[in-house]
Amino acid sequence: MTLTTQQANRAPVVTTYNRTVKRGQSITSSFTVTDADGDTITRYAIYDGNTNSNSGYFTLNGVKQSAGQVIYLNANQLSGLKFVGGSTATSDNLFIAASDGKTWSNWSQHKVTTEAGSAPTVSIQNATVNANTAMSLNFTTSDKDGDKVTRYEFFDSNAQATSGYFTVNGVRQAAGRGFFVDADKLHTVKFVGGAAASTDRISVRATDGIDGWGALSYVNFTTQAPVTNDWFDLNIKDTTIRALARERFQDGIFSRQEMIDIFDSAKDGGIVDTNEFADLKLLSSDVTYIKMADHARVLSQKIAHGNKANQKYIGQSLGNLYAGSSADHLQKLIDEHFFGKDLPLAKGEYAYGEANEATYKYVQGQLFQNGIQYTDVRQGFLGDCYYLAALAGIALADSNKIKDMFIDNRDETYTVRFFNNGQTDYVTVNRFLPTEPNGTLSFARAGNFWNTYTNSSNELWVALAEKAYAQINEAGWIGQDGTNSYKGIEGGGAQVAAEQVARLKGSYHGFDNWTVADAISAFASGAIVFFSSRSEQHKAQIGSKKLVGGHAYLLKSYDTVKRTVTLFNPHNSGNSYDGDGYLTVSWNDIPQYFYAWRKAV
């Protein structure tokens, strides 16, 4: 018997080679297969381990194959197998195995690396531009890979007020920081020459969205000095202020923000020199040629010409501006008058409670909510019933007078108007108000008495008007103690406050010479009427309610049949005296509980 030993089948052996490929380039995978038995290879298996969307991938007859799964193909399909480089620099770990129809080879691993491409290059030249004139940008961009530029970054290093600047869709871009523009919006970018001769060091770079940002290209954009002989040349000595003021005055009037910019420019050397001081005084003076928003002029004069309120800033000595003042001194005056940062002293003992733990908080809400009503008034700890009664009376008679009292500066501040013997005066307040440890407002409330500073439904006009009155007290003309404090406005005459808030004419009428009928007649004729209660009658019982002694009430209505008047208490509803904020008193009892009435027309 003859025995024949057959050799066992030996598996194929696959040898692979690492490759490098360009982005999107299609290549044939590099590998060889040997079979010790000389068997024909019948099938292949492939696997791509990189499933990222930007990685390379296999294609079979042009069809993309999914990564992360084994794909089998017959030997006659191998010619249709390609590998395509990724869309960004990346690497793919690929595996290939072969079968002779009997046995599969081991997996053979190799790496295909997609090379990084080239970022775009920007070519730009120095340019000259006329003062206050916009020019389009002229530069070219190239990309070695032929990729399309997707975005640009621009940077202007010259932050001087009179230097040139970029605009996008006409909106000025701040210098000293980059800004980005999509490639399809490049036509909206302009460079505007400065107000004075200057040079702006400009940089620009581009990206194709694939290979990162290209290198910055630097150029100089030079503004040619304007040739003029106008009012500013003849009157303004400092070149920086002259150029800036001329540029800002192109529409024929200075706004609040433009005056802030001019004051800011005087800080450039660290001090306000003699020329700068003279220029600031002249520009803010009542010069026929220079037109200015009224509140901007008044506040500018307080800075440049001096004001009693300048003597202190947040309780510390400061003083009026002068030639040689430091930039910090000027900044504090700007902060006080244009931004309301000189907050009134709040802590202390008050007529209706103590606020020794009061702290300033930014208060949420709106200036006005659902219109202006006299019932928006709700007195707090502060004994300023006369002032709040005046606000309530004005709101009741003509709410537009309250609306016109405020200018929203759109920067979280409000300019508040008053009248000093009929002449306008202004003060700026911000949204920081004194609050108690539980979050409620210490003084005039901003809605219900339980509202906290975080309540979005807060209505701020009463509290801000009260704060403004405390601040303008420091100017020394409202008839109080001249301090920047809430305590300084306790006690006063409602008719006087109405004159100062709405330019009305006020008068005082004691019940020893005038009658209740006189008060009702004035009210019926359109006057705002207030009743002043006797201090000695504090907590006197009137029907089911109690009187607040030494207090200002607003006449709300009268009844000729019942011969009564209904008075509004500035403490409003929820108080411990009358509960709902109203007190009804018979005509005959008025002189017993009230010593005078006041009117404002």
Active-site positions read: 385, 551, 572
Which neighbouring-strand residues pair with 289? Answer: none
Q: Residues with Cβ < 8 Å from 422, sequence gap 6 or more?
A: 503
Query: How many Å apart are CA 390 and CA 465, to the nearest integer?
Result: 11
Per the CB < 8 A criterion, the answer to whether 207 and 119 are in contact is: yes
Give the number of other CB atoms < 10 A from CB of residue 17: 12
Cα four-point dihedral sign 267, 272, 276, 281: positive
Burial bucket for residue 359 (CB in 10 Å: 0-12, 13-18, 19+): middle
Q: Residues with Cβ < 8 Å from 588, sequence gap 6 or more?
A: 563
Structure token pair of residue 501: 């808030």
Distances (CA, A) of 369 to 97, 365, 458, 553: 75, 8, 8, 24
Q: Residues with Cβ < 8 Å from 76, sequence gap 6 or more?
A: none
Per the CB < 8 A criterion, the answer to whether 12 and 34 are in contact is: yes
Give the type of residue at 311. Answer: Q
Per the CB < 8 A criterion, the answer to whether 565 and 587 are in contact is: yes
Query: How many Å apart are CA 225 and CA 202, to the nearest integer?
Result: 19
At 521, is the secondary structure helix, strand, or coil?
Answer: helix
Structure token pair of residue 551: 């207090």
Query: How many Å apart are CA 224 and CA 192, to the nearest integer?
Result: 11
Per the CB < 8 A criterion, the answer to whether 387 and 466 are in contact is: yes
Query: How many Å apart are CA 229 and CA 523, to the nearest integer?
Result: 60
Give the type of residue at 232. Answer: F
Per the CB < 8 A criterion, the answer to whether 530 and 389 are in contact is: yes
Which neighbouring-strand residues pair with 57? Answer: 84
Tokens 């009117």, residue? Answer: 599
The helix/strand count (H/E) of the chain reads as 12, 39
End-to-end CA distance of the chain: 140
Angle formed by the axes of helices 274-284 and 239-248, nearest 10°: 20
* CA–CA–CA angle 127, 133, 137 (5° rounding): 45
